[in-house]
Chain A
Amino acid sequence: MEFEDFAPKLTMLLYGVIGFVVVVGGLLLLLDVVPNYFARRREAALVAASLSSSDAPAGQRVGRRVRKHREGLLGLAFLLPALLLLLIGLVIPAIRTIILSLFNGNSESFVGLDNYGWIFRENDIIRVLLNTAGWVVLVPLLATSVGLLYAVMVDRARFEAIAKSLIFLPMAISFVGAGIIWRFVYAYRGEGDQIGLLNWLWTSVGGEPRQWLNEGPLNTFLLIVVMVWIQAGFAMVILSAAIKAIPSDIVEAARLDGVTPWQMFWRVTLPSIRPALIVVVVTISIGTMKIFDIVRTMTNGNFDTNVVALEMYNQAFRYQQAGQGSALAVFLFILVIPIVIFQIRNLRRQREG
């Protein structure tokens, strides 16, 4: 293991780091300098305006209109990069995907809605849809309940910070990392010592070792557990913050009225944190619909555990069936839309209320 063997790789790494520093540093600098420049000019203009305001009301009105116009331009300048990125990164690919979904595998002949028919015709794909539905129902439900329960229980308890960081830690692990960790938990050995935690527990209470990831539909549920393990921390943090934000006079008033802890939870806590609860459920739902990494790492969609996002990737990039892959992408997009609309409506209502 000579250093020289690694030198070219380290150099590459270094270039990467330099590139990162230059780009991010440049952006930060830009974000710092540009608004400051405009702020200073505006200040100067305001000072000038206030000096000359006393004697010329008509001139001031004209000045204000010009300033308003200029500010509109400034706003546009700030919006432009975001709009451009949205166009290139989102709108154009979305339109292209929709077009591709109406063509065959190598995007040469038009097949109409045949690819969408294929989604509901193929037994394998129906299985994929059912699995995804299972994920979308169970993950938000379980993750949010676990997170909420935990948040309520550790609220104002001793060692609250430690208890919270314990459950929040999995959030820091990537889905792929979590998938690999949990694959070890579910690992199977036909004979000898079990190296998987679950099989070790199972055999130590007298069971025969089982291939957990091989048995449907239990295996889908076991994959869901991994997602819940990761997402419960997210739910817990948001909900815990919401619980802490409940005005103390409400809580005190309820206490004076002599509520039981049960009533406190259902009548006071839950209604007060409803907006936060919805945000959590919606965020987790959308994330779950797009679930890909855990399934790909742990079973690669074998043993009837496949989900829409993984099948979409396989069709489009591995099997070179661009049409069917795009159709699945569009279908996934359509599934997400209602949730997004619900979320936006909710946010708007909150702002008004």
Chain B
Amino acid sequence: MAVSSRPRQALVLATTLALALSAAACSSDDGGDSGSASSGDCAAYDAYTGNDGTTVSIYASIRDAEADLLEESWKKFEDCTGITIKYEGSGEFEAQLPVRVDGGNAPDIAFIPQPGLLKRFADAGKLKEASADTKTMAEGNYAKEWLDYATVGGKFYGAPMGSNVKSFVWYSPKLFAEKGWKVPTTWDEMMQLSDTIAGAGIKPWCAGIESGDATGWPATDWIEDVMLRDAGADVYDQWVEHSIPFNDPKVASAVDRVGKILKDEKYVNGGFGGVKSITTTSFQEAGTPILEDKCAMYRMASFYANQWPEGTKVAEDGDAFAFYLPPVDPAKGKPVLGGGEFTVAFADRPEVQKVQTYLASGEAANSRAKLGNWVSANKKLDIANVENPIDKLAVEILQDQSAVFRFDGSDLMPAAVGAGTFWKGMVDWINGKSTSEVLNQIEGSWPK
């Protein structure tokens, strides 16, 4: 008995302290919130009212600063409708969502960036079909090719939200102007430019595919982008649906075309070393040698704008900017590779459907775009609300009527390939394995 008296004292002390602290935290919270609810014009949100006091949970992979902006963007919606949105972002989203759903603990709404995963939940009957309101809203605001990715077995499950354009090549406008190089508009021009740059003693290309447990994806984006250009959108669709095998000669031709850049010691990898250094260079770092004129071009999505060191001016007349990855055959149209997340629901309570409809609306897109660093394929998105030059360019491309948009193929394939052997295969390929060996291996791993 005597032994335990001191720990018990400590325990009481700790509990009291904790209680006191929590009380303080609560009071500071209350102070911050009051007063903001009644302000502003709520007319735009009339359609979403009637479920005051309800809560909708959202689960997604968007975290930190980006998540804060997202929450800020729907603050007014919450104030006007009385619906509270409980947002949770996770770095392990793709692995955790199936665990939560299978365990009966699904969120009301999830933002799923992989149509393949969306399809899996739809097939398993876990997703709720989108309401008529949501569908009407989505059809008014998004192109059909986008909505097709969220349609499984004739049922529509949810609208896209944020998007990104992957068909970009980053470069230094300063260096290009200094040397008199022109932004290429065809694939051949780009290859000639590569030779010119190599002749000037600069490595024309930078690349890096290291990305933690997702290592390899930047290389799969390369292949997909070139697949669209080399073989066309129809063959691309057959490829991701597996109606042509992964080791089809058409795929091999696209992979070899990429290999002419990524596997040529003459062309890569400025500032980091030879071809093999691509596998251990992180995609975040890989473009930075452009600022030191150690390499000239880096193919990476629009979101790379956030990766430049602080103080870098990202603009057409700045330190870094991007041009559209040119087509192989301009007659085949303007292929655009991109990605985005879809807002799907695991519940069909009225407030959940209202949030889902709101997220598909022009108000939601513009409200988020105004806060910066965001792109969407939403047709109602006013380009004046998009601040960054690169985001502007991306929105222009997404809203361009002549563009042929296709979703990131590895997100459409079964996870075992799209997030597995395709990534791994690309690492092996850069590391020296032959195209046919890698493609055969990926073909063999396609789930039957």
Chain A residues in the interface with B (C-beta under 8 A): 4, 7-8, 10-11, 14-15, 17-18, 21-22, 25, 28-29, 32, 36, 105-106, 124, 188-191, 209, 211, 213-214, 296, 300-303, 314-315, 317-321
A303 touching B427 in the complex, CB below 8 Å, given contacts A25-B15, A36-B1: yes
Contact between chains at A188 and B420 (CB < 8 Å): no
A28 CA to B15 CA in the complex, in Å? Answer: 13
Q: Considering only CB atoms, which chain B residue lies closest to A32 in the complex? A: B4
Q: Considering only CB atoms, which chain A residue lies closest to B274 in the complex? A: A190
Q: Considering only CB atoms, which chain B residue lies closest to A212 in the complex? A: B280
Contact between chains at B124 and A214 (CB < 8 Å): no
CB-contact partner of B99 in A303, A315, A317, A321, under 8 A: A317
Contact between chains at B18 and A28 (CB < 8 Å): no
A317 touching B98 in the complex, CB below 8 Å, given contacts A21-B14, A188-B280, A303-B431: yes
Q: How far is the CB of B20 from the nearest CB of chain A, in Å? A: 11
B309 CB within 8 Å of chain A:
no
Q: How far is the CB of B308 from the nearest CB of chain A, in Å? A: 20
Q: How far is the CB of B116 from the nearest CB of chain A, in Å? A: 9
Q: How far is the CB of A302 from the nearest CB of chain B, in Å? A: 5
CB-contact partner of A28 in B7, B29, B273, under 8 A: B7
A214 CA to B29 CA in the complex, in Å? Answer: 50
B272 CB within 8 Å of chain A:
yes
Chain B residues in the interface with A (C-beta under 8 A): 1, 4, 7-8, 11, 14-15, 18-19, 21-22, 25-26, 28-29, 32, 94-95, 98-99, 120, 124, 212-213, 215-216, 269, 271-274, 276-277, 279-280, 414-416, 419-420, 424, 427, 431, 441, 447
Give 7 nearest A-B pairs by CB, closest first: A190-B273, A319-B416, A317-B95, A11-B25, A18-B18, A319-B420, A190-B272
Q: A106-B120, A190-B274, A318-B213 are in contact. List 20 more A-B contacts (CB 8 A).
A: A4-B32, A7-B25, A8-B29, A21-B18, A28-B11, A29-B11, A36-B1, A188-B277, A209-B273, A211-B280, A214-B276, A214-B279, A300-B215, A302-B424, A317-B95, A318-B415, A318-B419, A319-B419, A320-B98, A320-B416
Contact between chains at A190 and B416 (CB < 8 Å): no
Contact between chains at A321 and B416 (CB < 8 Å): yes
A312 CA to B25 CA in the complex, in Å? Answer: 43
A283 CA to B276 CA in the complex, in Å? Answer: 38
Contact between chains at B14 and A14 (CB < 8 Å): no
A199 CA to B15 CA in the complex, in Å? Answer: 51
A300 CA to B427 CA in the complex, in Å? Answer: 11
A28 CA to B7 CA in the complex, in Å? Answer: 9
A318 touching B95 in the complex, CB below 8 Å, given contacts A14-B22, A25-B11, A105-B447: yes
Provide the residues of chain B in CB contact with A17, threshold 8 Å.
Answer: 18
Q: How far is the CB of B92 from the nearest CB of chain A, in Å? A: 9
Provide the residues of chain A in CB contact with B216, threshold 8 Å.
Answer: 302
**14 chain-A/chain-B pairs, Cβ below 8 angstroms:** A7-B25, A14-B18, A14-B25, A189-B273, A301-B424, A302-B424, A303-B427, A317-B95, A319-B416, A319-B419, A319-B420, A320-B98, A320-B120, A320-B416
Q: How far is the CB of A37 from the nearest CB of chain B, in Å? A: 11
Q: How far is the CB of B352 from the nearest CB of chain A, in Å? A: 24
